Amino acid sequence: MLKIKKILFAAALALVGSASVLAQEAAFADPNVDYSFMLPEAGWKQIVKPSATTPNVEYVYNDRREGHFEVRKLTVAKDAFMSDVMRDEESKLLFLQSYVAGKEENFTGRLRGNIFNYEFVRSGRIMSGRFYFLRADDTTVYVLRFTGERDKLRSIRNQTDAIARSFAVKGAAAGRV
């Protein structure tokens, strides 16, 4: 009986240890881009790597339907209003099937900005999007685009917020809204 308890205790310790390893954050940084961020869980897998010609990066959370994440850098007019930048990006979404704009939120992390939420339908599934517009300087806005099935994306919102909060640009001060 004592031997079984020891085996069970050792198995429990192994499970706790492996869970803590899986829950560790991972940092993203690449010499081809001027930004970095933290991924809060091992479930995020990189599917597009930045290069000298294409500075975009993309990740999926387990499966593309659960969460798709991409970073885009926008060059905007000097001191452009964030609401105008958001409207320009929204105009590209209007063609999505059953598109419905959601609420906008203010956001503060290493960079400040706004969040734009929306819903649409893809292949008969209700999808949602959560875009973080982060101002790096007077002419640069980074858009962190998260999309996925509505309920699945909602369930990882704490992770999307954590990624956006950790997003940093080399040599940038806190952005302005």
DSSP secondary structure, 64-102, as one string: TTT-EEEEEEEE--TT--HHHHHHHHHHTTTTSTT-EEE
Q: Is the pLDDT of residue 143 over 60?
A: yes
For residue 67, give both structure tokens: 């969460």
Q: What is the pTM of this model?
A: 0.82
pLDDT bucket at 131, cuts 50 / 70 / 90: very high
What is the side-by-side order of every strand in the sheet holding 112-122? 44-48, 57-61, 68-75, 140-149, 125-137, 112-122, 100-108
Q: DSSP character for 50?
A: -
For residue 73, give both structure tokens: 């850098």
Give the start-to-end residue ranges of the domains of the chain.
23-169
Please write the tens of the pLDDT for every residue from 155-165: 999 999 999 99
Please write the tens of the pLDDT for every residue from 91-119: 999 999 999 999 999 999 999 999 999 99
Per-residue pLDDT, averaged over 113-140, amounts to 96
Q: Is the pLDDT of residue 14 over 80?
A: no
Q: Report DSSP letters for 140-156, one per residue.
A: EEEEEEEEEEHHHHHHT
For residue 69, give both structure tokens: 């994440």
Size of the chain, expressed as the number of residues it contains: 177
Residues 6+ apart with CB under 8 A from 33: 50, 55, 57, 71
The CATH T-level fold of domain 23-169 is Protein Transport Mog1p; Chain A (3.40.1000)
What letter represents residue 129's amino acid?
A: G
Q: Is the pLDDT of residue 79 over 90?
A: no
For residue 54, what pLDDT is reported?
A: 87
Closest alpha carbon to 147 in 162, 125, 166, 168: 125
Let me know: does 145 contact 69? Beta carbons within 8 Å: yes
